Structure 1
């Protein structure tokens, strides 16, 4: 178990904008930051971070919280894992007591697989650096590839011995369960034996965006044609190849800083670029590019530059990824290397300055690239040239932004020496065809559902919830403020106004205490009790205790309430000369109205309850008298609210 002292240090030190900034490209929006949601596929930013309040809110999904909850939500970490991640980031020493066997047993499958993968990374890395065979074979291979010791350690490269089960035996001796060794794919288990998947291979650990080990890529060093040259971990609970980009963990800060991401094919391409000073590079690991991989990059930048080998066949096979990138609303450039070179070999034979200069000078717009690549085939063949033009227009049609589409159409017309009208006509036909195809699809049958009648009971429950939430909101946002309240006193049928100053939280407490009101919502009641406790102890409400509450439901509720007032800044209303009225000026009335409305709803419920108890017997006099008294009280409340009944 992690000590309370360590947890407190993490919360005190961690800056939510720094933590989230490693995963999402944040841009200044007033006193806050905004960016694209990492939890949904969106084109306009609805994700907001408040450095002042140290919280975040994703308005597209409703999720929100503090730095710890973001790591838990984004990386699927447990609470202790998120604390450890942030402690490591901020160099905080973790004070932790030994876990019991029972505590170890309750660790879920995902956590166990992470632990096994991390142990494998350390084991294979140690074999590479310290085992005689690891040094002679694996370490020598990486050195021959030109990788320095610093690079080998940075990317945690490893080597698996040729022995059938060296790793498996070692892991089991350390107490790791064979079921998790099998589920991660590190060990292959059949009816007769169990053996290591990555025997005799150099290994490339594959990290999540936060640096957690998800799986491995392995390359064999012999010329055995019966064995696959490259081998990856199989799909598992923690490893989904189509959702991962190799090198993103090391590249994410550089990608955001440079506002561009270089996309290559292989592990060694990434490592060689990184060693030569170009950090903002990731690899699709030999798989066809997927929308999920593109969205990972889009959180950090809108710009991707695809780097192809000099091999023309490889370029044609990979060029379809361009359309996927365009579909995501991103800007894409393409660059190829001289024939016979790939990113790995080219970066090794040039200096850092030469590499950066080549990347800067040779990156082409995707239209120019497609034309230069495919025009050779078209030559003087009108049919092939028309096919090339259609191919480019198909790519342009993927771009969601209309202005960008028009600019690219104009560029295509200029390069291909064809009328813009013809290209716009072709584009329009493509859109019409898509609409026709969509309309031909059979509509999905929806199950018929009974129409729910809106009952008075439902309305009252919702109304009660609304005012209870409003009281909690006022307490959290304004509870520590002192304002002037007005008390109306009636003497000899003459109303007198008496002005007095009170703390907002104290005023609400006195009202609720007078009427012995309790919240019907359990979560609201917990927050309210905590507020009153803080007032009694410190004469002040500390919002941070709610934001960093060990009860995630309370932390989430409070975060949502605190960030609701920030929502308008996403729309930049001030730039449109739409100004939001300050609530402080209306605070006394807001407090009074909310309390009286809560009373009104509760009185309505009481009257309804009494009416249902009326029978035809004479004992109803007391009930009728009580109804009259409550009705008079309701009239007085409406008078306070300036309503007419």
Structure 2
């Protein structure tokens, strides 16, 4: 168990903008920060971070919370895992009791798979450094590649011994479950025997964006033609190769800082470039580039520079991934190395400044690169050239931004020596085809949706006023609960003649006290059960007479309530996404007139509830025409007077809710 002292220290130290900034590129939006949602595929930012409140809200998925809940949501961590991750990030020593073997086996399945993978990484590195075989084969290989000791340790490189079951025996001996060794693909069971998948290979741990070991890549060093040169972990609950980029954990901060990501092919390419001082580099680990991998980069930067070996055949196969990058609305450049060179070999022998200069000077726009590459094949063959031009226009059609498409068409026209009109016509045909296919899909989806729409239309047509007013009550408590304000009280007092007169007094109250007393006076409970739970929780919290800090409060509420609290707190921040101030539309700040805002909200809720009672009485009158309704009519009159009283106090005429 992690001690409460450690948890408190993590909450006090972790800054939500710093934690999220490791995963999402954030840009200033007033006092807040905004970026693309890491939980959904989107082109316009709907993700908002409030450094002042130390919370975040993703308006596209509805998720929200503090620094800890972000790590839990993004990395699918448990609470203790998130605390450990943040403690590591901020160099906070974790106080906890050591896990027994029983507790280790009781850990969640996914956590068990992470634990097995992390044990394996330590085992492989220990084997490489502390055994004769590991030093002679594994360590010497990495040293020959030019990797320093610091680099080897930073990337967690290791060696799996040649013995068939050395790792599996050690893991089982340490109390790790065979089931999880098999699930992550480290152990293969056959005929009631177990074998190490990565026997006799140097090991490259594959880490998530937060640094957890997801799987491995293993390279064989012998000339065994029957064995694959590189072997990767199989797909598992924690490792999906299409959604992972090798090196992203070590590159993410540099990618944000440089606002560019270098994309190459292999593990050693990434490591060598990183060691050479180019840290904003990742690899697709030898697999074909996927949309999920591109979106991972898109959270950090809009700019990708694809690094290609100087091998022409490999170039043609690799440029297919460029269209995928363009579809995501990203800016693509391509940099090729001299023939016979790759990022690994070139970075190894090129001084840092010269390497940076080469990358800068040789990074071409994708259209220039593609044209120069394919034109060599077309030469003077008109049919091949026509196919090439169509291929170029297909790539341009993938770009979502219309202005960029037009600029690229102009550039393509210049390079290919063909009129812009022809290219625009071809582009229009391709776009029309895409639109037609999209329309067909839309029509099919609409037919399915119409049934659901018809069922819910009558429900959604009406705004739930009580819900909105109750939400405002919670918002007031969260934003201003411990503020002390002047409030008006209207009391009936006898004058010198014994007549009762309504007297106005101004008294000081804490906002939470005023809200509580007002609702208690009318014996009002919030109809929404989640709001009522938050309300009870907040009143109890304020009564402890502690300073209200949202991050401390969120620590002690359930995930369901935390989600709702964040949504309420960030509701106003949503306006920042639309940049209203740039359009000279300014939102009135409620904290300038807190007492007025509180009074109006409470009176509005009371008005609504009284009006609801009146409507219920009227309904009962219509159903009992022959009965004596004088008492009910009298009640309606009394309640109507109460509504008039609300109107006077509000100082304005309010239309009745219906």
Alignment TM class, shorter chain as reference: over 0.9
Once the two structures are TM-superposed, the CA of residue 638 in structure 1 deviates from its matched residue by 5.1
> Is structure 2 residue 578 aligned with structure 1 residue 571?
yes
Once the two structures are TM-superposed, the CA of residue 392 in structure 1 deviates from its matched residue by 1.1
Aligned equivalent of 1:175: 175
Compared CA separation, residues 453 and 579, structure 1 to 2 (3 A): closer
> Is structure 2 residue 219 aligned with structure 1 residue 212?
no
Mean CA deviation greater in 578-587 or 345-354? 578-587
- Which among 451, 454, 465 is matched to residue 455 of structure 2? 451
Structure 1 unaligned blocks of 5 or more: none
> Is structure 2 residue 532 aligned with structure 1 residue 536?
no
Aligned length: 643
Deviations 1:241-286 (A, max 9, x none): 0000001111111111111111110001111111111111111111
Secondary structure at 2:544's aligned position in 1? Answer: helix
* Cα pair 1:20 1:67 within 8 Å, conserved: yes
Compared CA separation, residues 306 and 485, structure 1 to 2 (3 A): same
Once the two structures are TM-superposed, the CA of residue 370 in structure 1 deviates from its matched residue by 1.1
Compared CA separation, residues 425 and 221, structure 1 to 2 (3 A): same
Structure 2 CA distance, aligned partners of 1:354 and 1:455?
66
* Cα pair 1:534 1:540 within 8 Å, conserved: no
Compared CA separation, residues 643 and 438, structure 1 to 2 (3 A): closer
Mean CA deviation greater in 609-618 or 627-636? 609-618
Compared CA separation, residues 484 and 377, structure 1 to 2 (3 A): same
RMSD of the alignment, in Å? 2.7
* Cα pair 2:243 2:292 within 8 Å, conserved: yes
Aligned equivalent of 1:580: 587
* Cα pair 1:55 1:547 within 8 Å, conserved: no
Q: Counterparts of 1:183-582 in structure 2 under 5 Å?
A: 183-439=183-439, 443-444=444-445, 445-446=447-448, 448-449=451-452, 451=455, 454=458, 462-488=464-490, 497-538=504-545, 541-582=548-589
Compared CA separation, residues 453 and 11, structure 1 to 2 (3 A): closer
Mean CA deviation greater in 185-194 or 608-617? 608-617
Q: Counterparts of 1:37-56 in structure 2 under 5 Å?
A: 37-56=37-56
Q: Counterparts of 1:84-163 in structure 2 under 5 Å?
A: 84-99=84-99, 103-163=103-163
Deviations 1:525-581 (A, max 9, x none): 333234333443327544333233342223222222221222222222212211112
Structure 2 CA distance, aligned partners of 1:589 and 1:622?
36
* Cα pair 1:638 1:644 within 8 Å, conserved: no
> Is structure 2 residue 594 aligned with structure 1 residue 590?
no
Secondary structure at 1:566's aligned position in 2? Answer: helix
Structure 2 unaligned blocks of 5 or more: 494-498
Once the two structures are TM-superposed, the CA of residue 478 in structure 1 deviates from its matched residue by 2.2
Structure 1 CA distance, aligned partners of 2:205 and 2:549?
44
Mean CA deviation greater in 208-217 or 619-628? 619-628
Compared CA separation, residues 280 and 644, structure 1 to 2 (3 A): closer
Mean CA deviation greater in 610-619 or 273-282? 610-619
* Cα pair 2:186 2:197 within 8 Å, conserved: yes
- With structure 1 as the length reference, what TM-score do the two structures score? 0.93
Secondary structure at 2:120's aligned position in 1? Answer: helix
Once the two structures are TM-superposed, the CA of residue 106 in structure 1 deviates from its matched residue by 4.1
Deviations 1:228-247 (A, max 9, x none): 11110000100000000001
Structure 2 CA distance, aligned partners of 1:360 and 1:162?
43
Deviations 1:351-391 (A, max 9, x none): 12221111111111111111211111111111111211111
Compared CA separation, residues 326 and 455, structure 1 to 2 (3 A): closer
- With structure 2 as the length reference, what TM-score do the two structures score? 0.91
Once the two structures are TM-superposed, the CA of residue 486 in structure 1 deviates from its matched residue by 3.5
Mean CA deviation greater in 498-507 or 7-16? 498-507
Secondary structure at 1:137's aligned position in 2? Answer: helix
Secondary structure at 1:111's aligned position in 2? Answer: helix
Secondary structure at 2:356's aligned position in 1? Answer: helix
